[in-house]
């Protein structure tokens, strides 16, 4: 058994930001299921949105965020995001993050849905630079102990003698190297496990994004919200090799234009902002163009951006496309939409508290209310630092007066049989394929119902294997993937309208009378 004042699950921007601040108040055990930098954070390209330009203001950032969110953002959370964001970005700079400069000032990029230049960036590798600096800072802090290759399996709860209600008091962890299951006990737990893109066949997300945090929180009785709002990024490079490579929206921000394969631009037929329309509009338009033409991709024409600008601004994209045999300086890039971001998640207040006492959530796993039905580009790194900071500020002073609890029962899996690797691969692929085919950019009631039926059947099989077999990292993920997929489908079935990222052919309009609220599910 391990013990710390706080257990943090996840070593992306949310988990590390929180851990660094919580460490001022007590001991922190940070567990992460692969190596330290394995996270979506490490792949973030475009940047982190915050108000720095003279012609910008928090009010404008708020307005853009609310417009993208299509009526479902929580205004109090957005207000916190845009007002506290610049201070958190300054802290990242103090920590050593080398954002790109234009002279003395930050070099600010533009992305879809933003009315001003406000994307603070480190070339086109913003996430890698942030992750580098946060990991370096965590290594210097004596109070954060990092456990790599340790995968959270289930949250632990106990009855709080003060309230007689359940409180989260730790997490059951699988040590992937030894196969051992270890309870990590703490006064509070921070869930910062990132998103769930791996639920879909095509995704920009790295392999770690399997929805573990949402699934664990749901099983522990936490409120989960808005899982129907999965953001598809419009421009992933086609064809995908092992992992889809993202072509940052910032490329369109600098002037690249979406075209059909015959060279005609099409986005002006869908939105006045054309190629820089909000992401949901662009992804749906590409989906429609591809379905109507039968083409496997559309083109992103970068010829409007000067060569030196591409070299300076997008060195990583230039290198990666060139390694894949495409010369973006001379020819258009073939692109397709891919699952990118989870707007919903574990419901929190503006201090990161979930509905389960003792359990906090931040980053992509959390639903703070800032994204509503569609996230504004580059608001997620910002959300992670802003709300991780607030959670640490809320929890820290309480740590010394919070009694550690011991769970009465640790429901560790007890199976002893070895799991069949073919079962794991087949069921994982079934989930990813059916989610892509039936629960993608354009949905219908019949397709959602079929998806639910098929997912339930998979879930029954997975539960049976879970009861019989020794847990492995892949089995833990499969259990969470099917749970998360079911939550997405259940939320999509509940929303009888089309809004933001949830587009349903059977309910093609917004229903402000009945549906202007979060979709909340509890176990």
Residues at the site binding ligand FAD, with contacts judged by CB under 6 A: 9-15, 31-34, 38-41, 43-48, 126-127, 151-152, 192-195, 204-205, 208-209, 212, 246, 341, 363-365, 378-381, 384
Give the β-pairing of 366-367 and 345-347: parallel
Backbone angles phi, psi at 371, to 5 degrees: -95, -20
Please state the closest distance from residue 74 (CB atom) to ligand FAD, in A: 18
Give yes or no for a contact between 484 and 196, defined as CB atoms under 8 angstroms apart.
yes
Q: How many residues bind ligand SIN (CB under 6 A)?
A: 9
**Binding site partner of 65, from ligand SIN, ligand FAD, none, Cβ cut-off 5-8 A by kind:** none
Give the Cα separation of 24 and 32 in Å (integer): 21
> Cβ-closest residue to ligand SIN?
46
List 15, 37, 46, 345, residue binding ligand SIN (CB under 6 A): 46
Which of these is catalytic: 279, 353, 428, 443? 279
CB 423 within 8 A of CB 465: yes
Type and span of the H or E element at 31 = strand 28-31
Residue 111 CA: distances (Å) to CA of 7, 119, 355, 356: 35, 7, 34, 36
Contact 282, 112 (CB under 8 A): yes
CB proximity list for 20: less than 8 A, separation 6 or greater? 134, 137, 138, 141, 144
Looking at the Cβ atoms of 21 and 375, the one nearer to ligand SIN is: 375
For the CB of residue 294, give the shortest distance to ligand FAD in the complex, in Å: 28
CB closer to ligand FAD, 32 vs 275: 32
Give the bridge partners for 189, in sequence order: 7, 359
Structure tokens at 394: 């809320």
Cis preceding linkage at 239, omega within 30: yes
- Ramachandran class of 416: left when φ > 0, alpha when ψ lies in -120 to 50, beta otherwise: alpha
Minimum Å distance from CB 235 to ligand SIN? 7
Residue 364 touches which of ligand SIN, ligand FAD, none (Cβ within 5-8 Å per kind) = ligand FAD
Question: Is 279 assigned a catalytic role?
Answer: yes
| Residue 126 interface partner, choices ligand SIN, ligand FAD, none, CB cut-off 5-8 Å depending on type | ligand FAD
Q: List the single partner that 107 binds among ligand FAD, ligand SIN, none, CB under 5 to 8 Å by kind.
A: none
- Distance between CA atoms of 51 and 119, rounded to whole angstroms? 8
Quote the least distance from Cβ 269 to ligand FAD, whole Å: 27
Closest approach of ligand FAD to the CB of residue 460, in Å: 22
- Fill in the per-residue mask, 371 to 390: x = in contact with ligand SIN (CB under 6 A), - = not in contact: ------xx-x----------
Instruction: Determine if 402 is a binding residue for ligand SIN (CB under 6 A).
Output: no
Q: What's the rounded Cα separation, in Å, for the pair 241 and 104?
A: 39
CA atoms within 13 A on the CB side of 243: 14
Helix, strand, coil content of the chain in percent (nearest 5): 40, 20, 40
Q: Is 45 in the site for ligand SIN (CB under 6 A)?
A: yes
Token pair listed for 365: 């796993």
Site for ligand SIN in 201-260 (CB under 6 A): 248-250
Residue (32 or 380) nearer to ligand SIN, CB? 380
**Cα–Cα separations (whole angstroms), residue 194 to 11, 208, 384, 391:** 9, 8, 10, 16
DSSP string, 163-196: TSSEEEEEEEEEETTT--EEEEE-SEEEE-----
Taking the complex as a whole, the smallest distance from the CB of residue 89 to ligand SIN amounts, in Å, to 15
Q: Which CB sits closer to ligand FAD, 13 or 395?
A: 13
Residue nearer to ligand SIN on the CB measure, 123 or 452: 123
Q: Decide: is 519 part of the binding site for ligand SIN (CB under 6 A).
A: no
Name which of 46 and 451 has its Cβ closer to ligand FAD.
46
Lookup result for tokens 């009378």 = 513
CB of 450 to ligand FAD, least distance (A): 28
Query: What's the closest the beta carbon of residue 381 comes to ligand FAD, in angstroms?
Result: 4
Q: Which is nearer to ligand FAD, 205 or 504 (CB)?
A: 205
193 binds, among ligand FAD, ligand SIN, none (CB under 5 to 8 A by kind): ligand FAD
For residues 327 to 366, the per-residue mask of contacts with ligand SIN, x marking binding by CB under 6 A and - elsewhere, is --------------x-------------------------
Nearer to ligand FAD by Cβ, of 153 and 493: the residue is 153
For 438-510, strand residue ranges (E) read 442-443, 503-504
Q: Which residues bind to ligand SIN, rule: CB under 6 A?
A: 45-46, 248-250, 341, 377-378, 380
Positions annotated as catalytic residues are: 279
């Amino acid at each position: 058994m391990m013990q710390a004042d706080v257990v943090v699950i996840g070593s992306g921007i949310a988990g590390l930001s929180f851990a660094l601040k919580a460490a001022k108040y007590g001991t922190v055990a940070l567990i992460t299921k692969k190596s330290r930098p394995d996270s979506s954070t490490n792949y973030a390209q475009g940047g982190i949105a915050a108000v720095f330009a003279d012609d910008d203001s928090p009010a404008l950032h708020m307005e853009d965020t609310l417009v993208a969110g299509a009526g479902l953002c929580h205004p109090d959370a957005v207000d916190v995001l845009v007002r506290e964001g610049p201070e958190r970005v300054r802290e990242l700079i103090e920590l050593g993050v080398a954002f790109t400069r234009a002279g003395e000032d930050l070099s600010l990029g533009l992305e879809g849905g933003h009315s001003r230049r406000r994307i603070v960036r480190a070339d086109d590798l913003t996430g890698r630079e942030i992750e580098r600096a946060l990991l370096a800072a965590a290594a210097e802090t004596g109070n954060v102990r990092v456990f790599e290759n340790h995968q959270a399996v289930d949250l632990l709860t106990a009855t709080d003698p003060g309230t007689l209600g359940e409180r989260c008091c730790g997490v059951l962890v699988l040590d992937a190297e030894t196969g051992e299951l270890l309870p990590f006990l703490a006064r509070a737990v921070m869930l910062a496990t990132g998103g769930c893109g791996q639920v879909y066949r095509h995704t920009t997300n790295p392999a770690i994004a399997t929805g573990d945090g949402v699934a664990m929180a749901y099983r522990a009785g936490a409120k989960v919200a808005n899982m129907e709002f999965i953001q598809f990024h419009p421009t992933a490079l086609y064809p995908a090799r092992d992992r889809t490579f993202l072509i940052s929206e910032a490329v369109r921000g600098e002037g690249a234009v979406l075209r059909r394969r015959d060279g005609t631009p099409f986005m002006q037929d869908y939105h006045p902002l054309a190629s820089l329309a909000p992401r949901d509009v662009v992804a749906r338009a590409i989906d429609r163009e591809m379905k109507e033409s039968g083409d496997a991709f559309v083109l992103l024409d970068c010829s409007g951006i000067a060569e030196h600008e591409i070299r300076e601004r997008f060195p990583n994209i230039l290198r990666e496309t060139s390694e894949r045999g495409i010369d973006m300086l001379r020819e258009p890039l073939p692109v397709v939409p891919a699952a990118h971001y989870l707007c919903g998640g574990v419901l929190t207040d503006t201090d990161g508290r979930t509905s389960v006492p003792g359990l906090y959530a931040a980053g992509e796993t959390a639903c703070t209310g800032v994204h509503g039905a569609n996230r504004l580009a580059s608001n997620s790194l910002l959300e992670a630092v802003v709300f991780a900071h607030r959670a640490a500020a809320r929890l820290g002073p309480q740590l010394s007066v919070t009694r550690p609890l011991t769970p009465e029962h640790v429901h560790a899996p007890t199976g002893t049989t070895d799991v069949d690797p073919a079962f794991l691969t087949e069921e994982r692929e079934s989930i990813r394929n059916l989610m892509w085919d039936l629960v993608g950019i354009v949905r219908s009631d019949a397709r959602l119902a079929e998806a639910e039926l098929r997912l339930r059947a998979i879930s029954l099989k997975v539960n049976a294997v879970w009861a019989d077999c020794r847990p492995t990292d892949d089995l833990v993920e499969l259990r969470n993937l099917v749970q998360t997929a079911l939550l997405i489908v259940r939320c999509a079935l509940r929303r009888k309208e089309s809004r933001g990222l949830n587009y349903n052919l059977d309910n093609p309009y917004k229903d402000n009378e009945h549906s202007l609220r979060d979709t909340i599910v509890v176990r």
